[in-house]
Amino acid sequence: MFYNHLKGHIEALLFACGKPTPAGRLAEILEVTEQHIELLIAQMNEEMAGNSRGLVISQVAGGYQLCTRPELATVLERLGQVQETRLSMAAMETLAIIAFKQPITKQEIESIRGVKVDSVVNLLVDRQLIKEMGRKEAIGRPILYGTTEEFLSCFGLGSLDELPDLAQFIPTE
């Protein structure tokens, strides 16, 4: 293919960026079409898989990101520099409510959970998993919260459409 020489460029751009980069942005930088970028990335992934390489190009959060292969996690953990930051059960519950019900206010989250969520919401904002989406048109104009690109990236989602159907988790009587 005529654009094969751009594979190294794509790999370098994804490595340097470090976060998901849309195909359109890569196409703009390399002055080719998005279709060529997507075709090249597919070829690169095939080559990486065939050569038993430690990296893969993943499609997450509306873009592409150079990632290590999941099966190599145990090797990377031995490096000692990988710090796993876990969320508490309360934080995971709150994050799930926000993901499925966004945009949503603290008061609405509290009515679902039955407890105060100020500190949990602050933690999720600090970790950039949620953000302020605006204000609700109601008395007091409470802040509306929603998920971020970082949330999509952390959970390996391309978009919120990839969240499972909430109806499957509701028990039937």
Report if residue 152 sits inside a domain.
Answer: yes
Do residues 98 and 156 both lie within one domain? Answer: yes
Query: What is the count of structural domains for the chain?
Result: 2
Whether 107 shows a pLDDT value over 90: the answer reads yes
CATH number at residue 13: 1.10.10.10
Residues near 127 by beta carbon (within 8 Å), at least 6 away in sequence: 85, 87, 150
Do residues 107 and 129 both lie within one domain? Answer: yes
Closest CA to 60 of 110, 31, 5, 19: 19
Residue found by looking up tokens 């292969």 in the block: 69
Q: What is the pTM of this model?
A: 0.58
pLDDT by residue (tens digit) across 109-157? 999 999 999 999 999 999 899 999 999 999 999 999 999 988 888 888 8
pLDDT of residue 84: 60
User: In this structure, are residues 105 and 116 in contact, taking their beta carbons and an 8 Å threshold?
Assistant: no
- Distance of alpha carbon 53 from the chain centroid: 23
Which residues constitute the domain of residue 153?
89-168
Q: Which two tokens stand for residue 13?
A: 């751009």
